[in-house]
Copies of this chain bind each other. A is one copy, B any other.
Amino acid sequence: MNVAVTQTIEGEFAMNNNIKSNNKALFTLDEDASEIKLHCPISMPDASGFLWNNNMMLQMNCRGYASAQHMQPEPAKYSYGQSIEAKTFMQPEHHYHASHPGRFFYIKVDDQHLFSLPYEPMRVSLDKFEFFQGTNNIGWRITQRGLHVEIKVKLAENDAIECWEMSVINQSHSQIKVDIYPCFSIGYTSWMNQSACFDESINGIIANYVTPYQKVEDYYKNKDFLDTTVLMTNASVLGYEAQLKAFEGEGGLHAPSALKQKKLANSVALYQTPVAVLHHQIVLPSAKEHNIKWLFGPAKNVEHANTLKKTYLSNTSSDKQDFVKPPAYLFSTQDKVFDNFVNTWLPRQIQYHSQSNRLTRDPQTRNFLQDHMASVLISPSHAKTHFLFALAQQHSNGAMPDGILLHPDAELKYINQIPHSDHNVWLFIFLDAYLQHSGDVNILNEQVGFSDLPTAHSVYEHLKLAAEYLYSQLDHRGLSLIQQGDWCDPMNMVGKEGKGVSFWLSLASAYAFGIFASIAKIQGELADNAHWLSRKTQLNDAVNQQGWDGQWYARGICDNGRIFGVAADKEGQIFLNPQSWAMLSHASKQQDLDLIFTAIDNKLKTPYGIAMLAPAYTQMDADIGRVTQKFPGSAENGSVYNHAASFYAFALFKEGFADRGYEVLRSMLVDNDDALVKQQLPNFIPNYYRGAYYQYPEVAGKSSHLFNTGTCAWFFRCVVELMYGITKTSTSIKINPCIPSHMLPCSVEFKAFGQAVNIHYESRTDIEDLEFTLQNASISNHMSAPEIMLDGSQNKALISVYIPTTEIKDSPQRAENVQA
């Protein structure tokens, strides 16, 4: 077995070099983008895929490390690390290490050659390696020592259970003896009680533990926990190891002593750290294939495990229905990276958000509203339900709470215990999106209660109260008080004494008031319309008078009266959000946009996107708060925070800057040119890429690998609503595109009013205004979006949009404010 171990050391960069020397793409996609394949485990060691279902989330990295959580009902683990880990929210830049939980398969060929799949923990150089993320599965295809091994994992739809299968094909010309040892981490489960053994009835390892607690009341909270982890199989088991130390021996996970023996020792764990290792053995003739399945996950007890086994490990249960829905829109442009993402992976990430609520029971109010906002484009009824659910938690004074409690037992945790000032804003933004894409104005008359008052009021009245509450939170300067943070959670000391204000929030409130004004108009409340338009103007004016720093907008004013986010600051000189939202709220004057763009381009733009502030803070600024203590270029302290960048893109498209807007969107995506820097696959947009490009260029662009982000909804709205320009009334679609010239011709397919729709966009030199055809018949030829009635009379509505080349430019007139 020394050979294998030597290989580990010697072959270290062999695979990496293989990729580089052959100049092969680091990753590739299937033609229909339904699978992303990574061809090397070394170049992007943290590259990962994720799966989820109604009860859990599993993130697998390309080397075999796993992070999994299930809801019981708070997030819990069933595969732990080896120390007592803190309960915490999902963190960016997750750190993988030798003792990290994983799903490993040791393979011994002909009693001689040992290696581990997918790559960890032995790190033996493999003849051929492919890690793939499918829409509904994750897996590997690996060739080594004459064997072709495919490993796949899917999740059950409703149970928290990982469904693994392996196919082994003998590609050599002779028979091969194959010993297979799945090794699934269970880890340090409990200081009160942990053990593991083999159980014949489940044909696998069962690990029992007691979630640690000390208070009697917690016993009653915990007693229905699934405090058992099982690894079950449909294959015959020759032996097992349930105790980690006994398995590792002096060899360690990278060369387990137990695997030196022909047979495993069948060790049990008795208040010792458990592991789930099984031993299967096959003798595989040339060209033959063998299949094995395993289930891994939490269970209540043996009986429950057996139920899971019957459901998911029987012969008929292998092909579960795909969990991820087919996309609602199919885009086709000149940019395949863009198409792949928006057609497959963006809707998937949106679905993840709206189903999982980021694996919390108390999602932040702004996250909850934005995560479900994306659904307005896919499933308006789903979106509506969630909007009304949130609205019912509004206080009768108009204030939205810091988190939406998904269950009566849920509690506000972590960041939701800090008072933030922005939550009301997102109600307006959500409702605007909902109206744009559903045309369902009836929602305004839906009756909803309050958290402190069961009396139902109309959605319109709720929104009016929300607007009044926002307005009530202006200080004597007419600016929005920030409290202990606005959208930027860790900006927690600007207003800790109740005096500091946020220019961003002032602008966001102005934007919200503008939306409410247009809603009032829809509702026929013309006095409200005028009133809130005037308040919008009042806020914009206040910001312009006090927040315009000469070249860009400042971020806020601290309790002590110090303005920040201005040219005079050495760090945190410019923030992206006030600029974006000054455009959205129409505070920014047309002639100032050039100044703003110059400042953004010079100070915030990086090769990997637009940073949210610069220069990143390098030391605590106690006037501003915790954001300044984060590592420079990470998270809110000056990363390319994609959520903020998506606001900017939205504002740019809204103002007609197609090229700029598209560039911002595109920089969020991963392609083979920047994957090595970003270190992730194009299966999701992370919450950030490292910023601080001028301070720490060596790490700039690195992905956070955290796929929880408010970006998705905005990205999708940018594409559908602004770039392709598609909105709906209750009976028609409107088309008002803003497409960069290099993307034309392009098209999109979707359904509207039960009717398949195909819209084709192309430029024409011979026209001066936008022209439209429906089934090749001209329907309009003026600049503003036509209302296209779809009567379902045709199998497919074929719409063509002709864009005059003269109109395609990146310095448009300001588009008319749709809300006003």
Q: Interface on A for B, CB 8 Å cutoff?
A: 1-2, 5-6, 8-10, 12-13, 42, 81-88, 91-93, 95, 97-100, 123, 188, 191-195, 210, 213-216, 219, 223, 244, 249-255, 257, 270-273, 414-415, 417-418, 484, 490, 492-493, 496, 620, 622, 625-626, 629-631, 633-634, 690, 696, 698-699
Contacts and interface: CB of A to CB of B under 8 A. Distances in A.
A779 B255 CA distance: 72
A638 B93 CA distance: 43
Contacts of A10: 2
A680 to B, nearest CB: 16
Contact of A83 (B95, B193, B417): B95
Given A83-B81, A84-B85, A418 B698 contact: no
Contacts of A42: 250
Contacts of A415: 214
A93 B8 CA distance: 32
A84 B93 contact: no
Given A86-B87, A100-B83, A2 B12 contact: no
Nearest to A84: B86
Nearest to A220: B622
Given A123-B250, A216-B492, A216-B625, 15 more contacts: A1-B9, A2-B10, A5-B9, A6-B6, A8-B255, A12-B250, A83-B97, A86-B86, A192-B626, A192-B631, A213-B626, A214-B415, A215-B418, A270-B631, A271-B699
A376 B1 CA distance: 60
Contacts of A88: 84, 191
B193 A630 contact: yes
A86 B87 CA distance: 7
30 contacts: A2-B9, A2-B10, A5-B5, A5-B6, A8-B255, A12-B257, A81-B83, A82-B95, A83-B95, A84-B86, A84-B91, A85-B85, A86-B86, A95-B273, A97-B273, A98-B252, A99-B99, A193-B629, A193-B634, A210-B630, A214-B414, A214-B492, A216-B493, A219-B493, A252-B254, A271-B631, A271-B633, A271-B634, A271-B699, A272-B699
Contacts of A273: 95, 97
A8 B250 CA distance: 8
A262 to B, nearest CB: 17
Contacts of A219: 493, 622, 625-626
Among the interface residues A13, A249, A626, A631, which one has the most CB atoms of the partner chain B within 10 A?
A631
Nearest to A209: B631
B417 A214 contact: yes
If over half of A's interface residues share one DSSP class (helix, strand or loop), that class is named, otherwise mixed; here it is loop
A6 B2 contact: yes
A130 to B, nearest CB: 19
Nearest to A98: B98
Contacts of A99: 82, 97-100
A254 B257 contact: no
A85 B86 contact: yes
Contact of A82 (B97, B255, B272, B620): B97
A188 B95 contact: yes
A629 B98 contact: no
Contacts of A690: 271
Nearest to A89: B191
Q: What are the 4 closest A-B residue pairs judged by CB atoms, nearest first?
A: A99-B99, A271-B631, A12-B250, A82-B97
Given A5-B6, A214-B417, A192 B253 contact: no
A220 to B, nearest CB: 10
A653 B5 CA distance: 59
Nearest to A698: B270
Contact of A496 (B13, B84, B216, B271): B216
Nearest to A492: B216
A690 B195 CA distance: 14
Nearest to A268: B698
A507 B397 CA distance: 60
Contacts of A418: 214-216
Nearest to A15: B250
Contact of A215 (B8, B191, B417): B417
A85 to B, nearest CB: 5
A293 B496 CA distance: 47
Contacts of A252: 98, 123, 254
A415 B191 CA distance: 14
A255 B95 contact: no
Contacts of A98: 98-99, 252-253
B123 A629 contact: no
Among the interface residues A8, A191, A490, which one has the most CB atoms of the partner chain B within 10 A?
A191
A623 to B, nearest CB: 12
Contacts of A492: 214, 216
Contacts of A82: 95, 97, 99-100
A748 to B, nearest CB: 39
A100 B194 CA distance: 20
A417 B218 CA distance: 13
Nearest to A493: B216
Contacts of A100: 82-83, 99
Nearest to A4: B9
A550 to B, nearest CB: 32
A2 B8 CA distance: 10
A12 B252 CA distance: 11
A24 to B, nearest CB: 19
A263 B418 CA distance: 48
A495 to B, nearest CB: 10
A524 B630 CA distance: 67
Nearest to A218: B626
A558 B490 CA distance: 50
A123 B249 CA distance: 11
A622 B216 CA distance: 10
Nearest to A7: B2
Contacts of A257: 12
Nearest to A629: B210
Nearest to A255: B9
A244 B86 CA distance: 21
A66 to B, nearest CB: 13
Contacts of A271: 93, 631, 633-634, 690, 699
B496 A12 contact: no
